[in-house]
Every structure is written in structure tokens, then in C-alpha cells.
């Protein structure tokens, strides 16, 4: 037992000054002479090797003290069950730790990409959209409620993306391919959606106040209870769209705007306008 006691004392005498020195340095690199052998085991892999060797020493030495050296068969007979269980425990622990690390890493990466998606730099934001799409995060509600205020998403492709309740105030989505996108409850006040493909998009209860929807394709889109107050619908295609209880008060449209069969835009409060070629401005037809 003496050799075990001596070994333990040696390790303790090394560990105590080592930890004290690290605390005194407060994160600063410590001189090697202050912590003997620190430079030999300053990496996790090296520490693992040291403790593995210590484990072998204590196991073999302890067995010799308690039972004598015996034969290899005797030693294996005493240790194999414990070693097997330890291996299983280590395997399970490693899998759990890896899973937890992966989940944390995914959360951090997702948050970073969503923040990048809200950038005012189009190329930077578009790159985030592509990465989110590859990870499947465009379609699993990861972007629900996302703050994308003034995001420059012009020309991006987000088929079937789920952005319900997202904040897209003054965002630029001009020319974006948003086929089957879910923007229900989203805030799109003053957003630029000109020439965007919103065919069969789900815009239930979305707030599109003042949004620019000129030349946008909203065919068969669900705009039930959507707020389109003062929006710009010149040249927009709303054929087959669901406008049940939609608020179209003072929404601007022209003769090129396509409405669902039987829909009366004037009765819904929309205002017909016409482009003045000389001034380049939209004028009300009833005030020419």
C-alpha cells in the first residue's frame, strides 16, 4: 500500500500548486517552471493519455497488493466485467455529449444564419437563405417570428418557406421566388414585393399596409383577412386569390391588375389609378 500512498502524495503535491498558479495568473500563460510538467500535458488528448496510464498503474498495482501478481488469467477474470461495463458507459456518454454538442452547435448556427438573413447586403443575406435551405431550416418553422426588418432578400428563392409571424417591415423581396411560402400573420408593412412570385402563397392575416406589390404574381394566394390598406397592386395578378375579409381600403390598382372572377375592387375600397407618362406618377382616374 505504501507505493499507492506515495504516488497519490506526489500527484497531490503537483496538482495543488498547479491550480493555485493558474488562479493567480487569471487566464494568463503561466511560466513552465511554476507548474512542473505542465507543458507535457497541456492538451486534452495528452491529459487523457496520462490518466489512462495512471489507471493502468493503479489497477495493476492495486491487484498485486491485494491478491499478489497471480497469472494473466486471474487478472482478466477479475477485470473483464468491469472493463466491459466501463466501455459501454463511455460509449453512451460520448454519444450523449456529442448529441448535446450538436444540438447546441445547430442552435448557434441557426441564430447566426437568421441574423445574416436580415442583412441589408443582398449577397450576404442570399447566402444565408441558401444555407438555411440546405439545413432544412426554411421549412421547419425555425423562421417563425424572425426579425428581418429591412432585410435585402431581392431575387432569393424560398419555395414553401415558413415565415409565419415574421417581421419584414420595409424588407426588399422584389423579384423573389416565394412560391407556396407561408407568411400568415407576417408584418410586411411598406415591404417591396414588386415582381415577386407569390403564387399560392399563404398570406392569411398578413399585414401588407403600404406594400409594393406591383407586377407581383398573387394568383391563387390565400389573402383572407390580409391587410392591404394603401398597398400598390398595379399590374398584380390576383386571379383565383382568396380575398375574403381582406382590407383593400385605398389600395392602388390599374387596368392591368387581374382580380378574382366576380370581385369588385371599388366596392372593396380600392382605388383605380393610371400612370401619367409625362410626369411618371400615378394619378387617380376620377381626378384627372
Runs of H (alpha helix) within 118-214? 122-134
Residue 124 in grid coordinates: 450576404
Runs of H (alpha helix) within the chain? 2-25, 44-67, 72-117, 122-134
Q: Are strands 271-275 and 252-253 parallel, antiparallel or unpaired?
A: parallel
Upper half-sphere CA count for residue 282 (Cβ side, 13 Å): 13
Q: What DSSP state is assigned to residue 41?
A: S
Asked if 189 contacts 211 with a C-beta cutoff of 8 angstroms, the reply is yes
pLDDT of residue 62: 64
pLDDT of residue 34: 46
pLDDT per position as a tens digit, 21-71: 554 544 555 454 444 555 555 555 655 666 666 666 666 666 666 666 666
pLDDT of residue 33: 45
C-alpha distances in angstroms, 142 versus 72, 135, 139, 256? 58, 11, 7, 37
Say which residues have a Cβ less than 8 Å from residue 178's Cβ, sequence separation at least 6. Answer: 158, 159, 161, 196, 197, 198, 201
pLDDT of residue 55: 67
Q: What DSSP state is assigned to residue 32?
A: G
Residue 35 in grid coordinates: 507548474
The percent of residues in the chain predicted with pLDDT above 70, rounded, is 64
Listed as ranges, residues in the chain with pLDDT below 70 are: 1-92, 94-95, 97-98, 100-102, 286-288
Angle between helices 72-117 and 44-67 (to 10 degrees): 160
pLDDT of residue 278: 81
pLDDT of residue 137: 93
User: Nearest Cα to 195, choosing from 216, 178, 219?
Assistant: 216
pLDDT of residue 131: 95
pLDDT of residue 186: 97
Alpha carbons 274 and 232: distance in angstroms, whole number: 12
Amino acid at each position: 500500500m505504501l507505493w499507492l500512498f506515495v504516488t497519490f502524495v506526489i500527484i497531490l503535491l503537483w496538482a495543488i500548486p498547479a491550480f493555485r498558479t493558474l488562479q493567480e495568473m487569471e487566464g494568463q500563460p503561466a511560466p513552465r517552471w511554476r507548474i512542473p510538467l505542465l507543458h507535457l500535458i497541456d492538451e486534452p488528448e495528452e491529459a487523457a493519455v496520462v490518466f489512462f496510464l495512471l489507471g493502468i498503474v493503479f489497477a495493476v498495482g492495486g491487484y498485486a497488493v491485494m491478491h499478489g501478481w497471480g497469472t494473466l488469467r486471474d487478472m482478466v477474470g477479475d477485470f473483464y466485467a468491469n472493463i466491459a461495463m466501463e466501455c459501454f458507459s463511455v460509449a453512451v456518454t460520448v454519444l450523449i455529449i456529442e448529441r448535446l454538442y450538436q444540438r447546441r452547435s445547430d442552435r448557434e448556427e441557426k441564430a447566426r444564419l437568421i441574423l445574416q438573413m436580415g442583412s441589408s447586403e443582398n449577397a450576404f443575406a442570399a447566402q444565408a437563405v441558401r444555407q438555411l435551405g440546405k439545413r432544412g431550416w426554411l421549412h421547419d418553422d425555425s423562421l417563425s417570428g424572425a426579425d428581418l426588418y429591412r432585410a435585402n432578400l431581392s431575387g432569393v428563392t424560398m419555395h414553401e418557406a415558413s415565415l409565419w409571424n415574421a417581421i419584414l417591415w420595409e424588407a426588399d423581396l422584389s423579384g423573389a421566388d416565394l412560391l407556396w411560402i407561408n407568411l400568415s400573420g407576417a408584418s410586411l408593412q411598406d415591404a417591396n414585393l414588386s415582381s415577386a412570385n407569390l403564387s399560392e402563397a399563404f398570406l392569411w392575416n398578413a399585414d401588407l399596409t403600404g406594400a409594393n406589390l406591383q407586377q407581383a404574381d398573387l394568383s391563387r394566394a390565400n389573402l383572407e383577412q390580409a391587410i392591404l390598406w394603401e398597398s400598390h397592386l398595379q399590374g398584380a395578378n390576383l386571379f383565383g386569390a382568396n380575398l375574403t375579409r381582406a382590407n383593400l381600403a385605398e389600395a392602388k390598382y390599374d387596368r392591368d391588375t387581374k382580380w378574382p372572377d366576380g370581385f369588385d375592387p371599388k366596392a372593396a375600397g380600392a382605388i383605380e389609378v393610371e400612370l401619367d407618362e409625362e410626369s411618371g406618377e400615378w394619378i387617380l382616374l376620377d381626378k384627372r
